Structures are given as C-alpha cells and as structure tokens.
Amino acid sequence: MELTGERVQQQGFFRRVAEFFSAENKKMVNFIKRRIADESSRDAEDILQDVMLKVMDMADLNAPLENLSSYVYTALRNRVIDALRTRKNTGSLDEPGAVDELALKGLINEGDRADSEMEKKEYYGQIYKAMEELNDEEKAIVIATDFEGMTFRELSDEWDVPIGTLLSRKKRALDKIKNILTKGGNENA
C-alpha cells in the first residue's frame, strides 16, 4: 500500500502532536491546575484531552512546533476560562431547585418572615399577582422548576430549548417578580 504525500504529511503532524503532548503533559496539567486550583486532577486531564482532540482536528498540518505550542497553551487557557464560567453560573442542573438563586422558594420564604398571618397572605397574593404578569415562557419555566420539580436538563430535552436559554428565562422571571414585590405589587409603579 502506497501512502500519498498528504497522508505522510498527516502522519508526521500526528506524530509531532503526540510527541509534544507527551513531552509537555505534566507542564500542561500544572498550567491548568494553577488556574483551577479548586478542581480535581481529573478535570485538568479532561480539559487537556479536549484540547488535544481539538488540535488533532486542526486544518493546518504544516504548523511549526512553536506555533503548535502557542496554539495549545492559548486553547488550554480558553478552555479553562470556559470551564470556570460554566461552573460559576450553574449548579447541578440535574437536581430540582439546585440553582438556589433561581428558585421562587427564596421569595416565598421571605413571606414566612411576616409578623402576622394577614401580612403573609398579602405577600403571597402579591407573588401570585406577580406570576400573572410574566409572559407564557417565563411562567412555564417557573411552574416547571419550582412547582413540578423538573430540572433544567429535563426541560431542555423536553422543550428542545438550550439550558442557557431556560436559565435566562428563569432569571428574568424572578427579577420581574422581585421588581413587582419591591414596588408593592404594582409593576408599573
């Protein structure tokens, strides 16, 4: 079997990449760990593996090693930032109510602190009225997550809507409710 010039070139590229990752493995893992000190070693290895796969899919098979090194470390830095950003903005999306700052129960619990039963009923009535002010998408996400116990992941699969969009809708809905409650039950006040 005869190898074409492109195939030989591709094999040479893969060999250079493999040698680079083998020689730089510990250095790259430490590079990642310094940036995500609170994460496990497994996470650093996962990030490194993601970047290695991305490099293997690179279109430029003639990249000199210096450019490969720069590309890899830039990709590692960007992947770490992405990982930290997603961990910061979301909790476990598999648990109902796991993202506490996106739960109506926090607002409801504030009503429990009212001095009298009348104040509690008035507060809960304001929450109900505030819910009525939400658009259909916002109301649906609040009901599904806070009353039906569905997770964002389940909703994403069922509604065919990205998780980020659902989180945004939920935050917007709770912000509207809070705004209405702070203005005494009148959103237009």
For 167-177, write each residue's pLDDT tens digit: 989 889 888 88
Q: Rounded to 5 degrees, what are φ and ψ at 90?
A: -135, 145
- Region 105-126: mean pLDDT is 67
pLDDT score recorded for residue 174 = 87
Checking if the pLDDT of 97 tops 70, the result is: no
Looking at the chain, the whole-number percentage of residues with pLDDT higher than 70 is 67
Same domain for 128 and 85: no
Residue 116 vs residue 43, higher pLDDT: 43
Q: 189 lies in a domain?
A: no
Same domain for 27 and 54: yes
Checking if the pLDDT of 187 tops 50, the result is: no
User: DSSP code of 144?
Assistant: I
Same domain for 141 and 115: yes
Q: 157 lies in a domain?
A: yes
Report the alpha-carbon distance of residue 24 to residue 171 in Å, rounded.
42
Count of structural domains, the chain: 2
Same domain for 72 and 26: yes
- Region 35-49: mean pLDDT is 74
Confidence of residue 96 (pLDDT cuts 50, 70, 90): very low
Residue 157 vs residue 100, higher pLDDT: 157
Could you list the residue range(s) of the whole structural domain that residue 12 is in?
5-89
- Region 104-126: mean pLDDT is 67
Same domain for 166 and 105: yes
Report the alpha-carbon distance of residue 127 to residue 47 in Å, rounded.
43
Same domain for 176 and 113: yes
The CATH number linked to 171 is: 1.20.140.160
pLDDT score recorded for residue 160 = 92
- Structural contact between residues 149 and 96, judged by C-beta atoms closer than 8 angstroms: yes
- Region 128-140: mean pLDDT is 89
Same domain for 105 and 59: no
Same domain for 63 and 19: yes
Neighbouring residues of 125: CB distance < 8 A, sequence distance ≥ 6: 185
The model's pTM is: 0.43
Same domain for 66 and 14: yes
3-state SS, one letter per residue, for 150-189: CCHHHHHHHHCCCHHHHHHHHHHHHHHHHHHHHCCCCCCC
- Region 25-52: mean pLDDT is 80
Question: What would the pLDDT profile of 53-70 be if each residue is shown by its tens digit?
Answer: 887 776 555 555 567 788
Q: What stretch of H or E contains 63?
A: none
Closest to 72 in 3D by CA, of 149, 19, 5, 9? 19
Same domain for 108 and 72: no
Q: 66 lies in a domain?
A: yes
- Structural contact between residues 57 and 49, judged by C-beta atoms closer than 8 angstroms: no
pLDDT score recorded for residue 189 = 41
Domain endpoint, select from 65, 89, 113: 89
Q: 139 lies in a domain?
A: yes
Checking if the pLDDT of 137 tops 80, the result is: yes
pLDDT score recorded for residue 136 = 92
Same domain for 11 and 68: yes
